[in-house]
Amino acid sequence: MARMHSRKHGKSGSKKLIKKSLPTWLSYKPMEVEILIAKLAKEGKTSSEIGTILRDTYGVPDIRLLCKKKISEILKEKNAAPEIPDDLISLIRRSVAIRKHLEANHKDETAKRGLILTESKIKRLTKYYKEAGKLESGWKFDPQRAGFFMK
């Protein structure tokens, strides 16, 4: 698939195998995994971090196969879902980091272009999430207050 702001098509990556059955060695039950997901969400982990932790630490290869729902759906059920989606938060963090870099290096033209591209992605995602109902209609990205999202 083509990249958004370049003419490149990217490298083809490895794809997940399509499996329809759980591995026989998996010892966790769906309720146990849901409790783990809720615990990790309370610690402030994002859904992608939760998936990585469950894969690497607990040996759960696929949450969807085990629980029949995505991590974000489980978080919504447990009322632990973030109010702003993870991909939008990561773009906002990138924007804040670029702005911080530009304060010290104000002649960095490449970083200025990166900031423009990043903020255009933020605007595009914001528009999509407002239409999909995942963000309230009055939500607006403010670069001055965006430092709140930095960890």
φ, ψ at 45 (rounded to 5°): -80, 145
Distance of CA 15 to CAs 5, 20, 124, Å?
24, 15, 27
Q: What does the alpha-carbon distance between residue 68 and residue 25 come to, in Å, rounded to a whole number? A: 18
User: What does the buried/exposed string (b/e) look like for 65-104 if buried means 16 or more CB atoms within 10 Å of the residue's CB?
Assistant: ebbeeebbebbeeeeebeebbeebeebbbbbbebbeeeee
Q: pTM of the entire structure?
A: 0.78
For residue range 120-146, what is the model confidence (pLDDT) as tens digits? 999 999 999 999 999 999 989 888 887
For residue range 18-51, what is the model confidence (pLDDT) as tens digits? 777 888 888 999 999 999 999 999 998 989 999 9
